[in-house]
Amino acid sequence: MRLLQKFLQKPLSSNVVTKSSGFSPIFFNQVFDDCGLSVGTKQVIEKYKVVAPLNDAVNTIANTVGDLPLVVINKETREISLEHEVLDLLRHPNNEDQPTKNDFMRDLTIWKILEGDSYVDATGDVSKPPLELFILKPQFMNIEVGKFGFAEKYTFDGTNSRTITFFKDFINNTITNIENNQSLLHIKNFQPSGSGNNITGMSEVLPLWFDVEQWEQASTHNLSLLRNGARPSGALKTDSTLTMQQRQDLKMFIDQSYQGASNSGRPLLLEQGLTWQEMSMSAKDMDFVKLKEQSKQSIFESLGVPIELKDGNSTFNNKAEAKLQFYEDTVLPTANMLLDSLNSFLLPRYEDGENIRIVVDLDKVQALSIKREARRKSIDESTSFTLNEKREEQGLEPVAGGNQVFTASGLPIAGDISFAIESDMSKEDIRNNLTKEQYRKYLKGEGETENVINTKLELVYGI
C-alpha cells in the first residue's frame, strides 16, 4: 500500500513515463477480449458502414441525443439559464469536424456506442475556460499502462501526422499535455473483461454481434439469389466429354447471358447434346428475408430503439408511446452520462463552475409532452393541491385566495372561508373565486344555520 501511495504522489513527466514507471506498452485497440470473439475496432466500424439496421439504430440514438436542448441550472436556486460561457462553447465547439452542439453530442454518442470509449480534447490554459473542444477518434488512441495496472499515458496518433501525448496526473485526477495547453476527457462504458482496471470501455455492439453477422449474411444470401435470378441451381449434362476450353466458354456464356437480375426468367438455350438438370431447393432456402427482419429487430431492441419508430404500420399513439419509451430508456440516460462527464471536465475551469450544472431542458423535449400533460391533468383533478399550486405547475402567477383546496366541481373542501374573510380573503376574493351556490354549500357543510348562511351570503354577494 505504501508503494502505491508513493507511486501516486510521484509527478509524471515523459522521463518518468518511459523509464522510472516501468511502462509495458499495451495498446487497447481491440474492442472484444476474453469473450471468444476476435473482433477489432476496424471490423466494428466496417459493420457500422454496411449493416443498415446497425447504422440506422446508432444514428437514431446519436442524432436524438445531439438534438436535446441544453441549459445551465444553478444547484442552489434551481434557476435555469440559457446564457453561459460553457453553453456558448458547446454551441460552437470547433471550426472543423464538430462546428455545432448537435455535431459534437452526436459524434460523442456514436463513438461511445461503437467503441465503448469517447475522447474529448480541450485546448487552452487548463486553469481557464477552454478555447475549443475536439473529439478524438478512439481507433487512433493508444493507452500505455504502468506496472500497477493504471493507464498513465495516452497517445493520439491521427492520420494527418498529428501526434499528441497526454499524461495522467493521479493527484489532480486529470489527463493533460501541459506543454501544448491541452487536456483530455476519457468517457468509457463498463468493461467486464480482463482482470485489471477498466482501461477501456466495452463496445455496445458486442451483445448484438451475432445479429449483425446474421443480417449481413442474410443480405449476402439474398443478393446471391438475385444475381442468379433467384432460380434454383442446376447442372448441365452432356454425353460427351468437354475440353477445358469448351468448359470455360460455356461458363462465360451462361454468366453473361443468364445470371443477374436483368436476365431473370430468361429461357436457357441449349446446344445439341446438352440437357439441364434442376437441383431441388427447399422453401427454407428462400426464407432469409424473415431472418433479416428478425436480426434487424434484435439489433434495434439491443440498442434501445423501439422498432415501432421505424415501422410504417404503427399507429400514431403507438409511435408516441414508443418515442416516450425511447427517450426515457435510451436517449436521456445516454445524454445524462455524457453530461455528467462533461460537467466534471469543463465546469471546474469556470469561476461559477461549482454552483452550476449543464442539464437537458426537459420542458422543451416534445416527446415528453405526453407525460407532462398526464401529470398536469392528474394534478388538476387532484383534491390534494391548492389552486395556486395547480397554477404554479402550469407556470401561472398565484391569485388571491388561491391557497384553498377545491373539489373538481369547484367546492372548497379544506380551510375555513369564514375565517379567511376576516384574515386572508376579502369579500371580493370570495365573489371572484366562488359562486353564491358554492359558498352556500360550503357554509351548510360547516353546520351554519340558515339565518347565518343568508346573512353571510348577503354580506358577500349583496341582496
pLDDT band at 266 (very low <50, low <70, confident <90, very high): low
pLDDT band at 194 (very low <50, low <70, confident <90, very high): low
Q: From CA 45, how far away is CA 55, in angstroms rounded?
A: 10
C-alpha closest to that of 24 among 111, 153, 200: 153
pLDDT computed for residue 139 by the predictor = 92
Report, as an integer, the average pLDDT of 10-26: 35
pLDDT band at 334 (very low <50, low <70, confident <90, very high): very high
**pLDDT, averaged across the chain:** 79
| Top mean-pLDDT range of 18-22, 30-34, 209-213 | 209-213
Report, as an integer, the average pLDDT of 331-345: 98
Give the CA distances from residue 431 to residues 107, 344, 426, 457, in Å, rounded to whole numbers and listed in that order: 60, 55, 9, 10
Report, as an integer, the average pLDDT of 362-387: 80
Report, as an integer, the average pLDDT of 352-378: 89
Contacts 24+ apart (CB under 8 A), 428-437: 429/400, 429/401, 430/401, 430/460, 431/460, 431/461, 432/400, 432/401, 433/387, 433/399, 433/401, 433/402, 433/404, 434/410, 435/410, 436/460, 436/461
pLDDT tens per residue, range 77-134: 989 999 999 999 999 999 999 999 999 999 999 999 999 999 999 999 989 999 999 9
Domain ranges of the chain: 2-30+117-202, 31-73+207-228+293-381, 234-278, 382-461
Grid cell for residue 243: 475440353
pLDDT computed for residue 421 by the predictor = 46
Report, as an integer, the average pLDDT of 227-247: 70
pLDDT computed for residue 8 by the predictor = 37
The proportion of the chain whose per-residue pLDDT surpasses 90, expressed as a percent, equals: 42
pLDDT band at 64 (very low <50, low <70, confident <90, very high): very high
Phi–psi pair at 309, nearest 5 degrees: -70, -20
pLDDT computed for residue 9 by the predictor = 39
Res. 225: pLDDT tops 90: no
pLDDT computed for residue 315 by the predictor = 72
pLDDT computed for residue 260 by the predictor = 52
pLDDT tens per residue, range 70-87: 999 999 998 999 999 999
Q: From CA 204, how far away is CA 54, in angstroms rounded?
A: 11
| AA letter at 118 | S
Res. 27: pLDDT tops 70: no
Q: From CA 155, how far away is CA 167, in angstroms rounded?
A: 9
pLDDT band at 252 (very low <50, low <70, confident <90, very high): confident
Q: From CA 423, how far away is CA 336, in angstroms rounded?
A: 48
Longest dimension (CA), the chain: 124
Cβ contacts of 23 within 8 Å, gap of 6 or more: 17, 144, 145, 146, 147, 152, 153
pLDDT band at 140 (very low <50, low <70, confident <90, very high): very high
DSSP state of 24: B
pLDDT tens per residue, range 303-322: 999 999 987 666 767 888 99
The reported pTM is 0.70
| Top mean-pLDDT range of 28-32, 71-75, 242-246, 451-455 | 71-75
| AA letter at 275 | T
pLDDT computed for residue 318 by the predictor = 84
Report, as an integer, the average pLDDT of 281-301: 77
Which of the two residues, 3 and 137, has the higher pLDDT score? 137
Give the CA distances from residue 212 to residues 46, 141, 217, 275, in Å, rounded to whole numbers and listed in that order: 11, 25, 9, 41
Res. 39: pLDDT tops 70: no
pLDDT band at 374 (very low <50, low <70, confident <90, very high): confident
Res. 255: pLDDT tops 80: no
| Top mean-pLDDT range of 46-60, 188-202, 212-226, 232-246 | 46-60
Give the CA distances from residue 336 to residues 339, 341, 343, 370, in Å, rounded to whole numbers and listed in that order: 5, 9, 10, 21
CB-CB contact of 58 with 110 (8 Å): yes
Res. 36: pLDDT tops 70: no
pLDDT computed for residue 410 by the predictor = 58
* 167 bridge partner residues: 153, 176
pLDDT computed for residue 459 by the predictor = 79
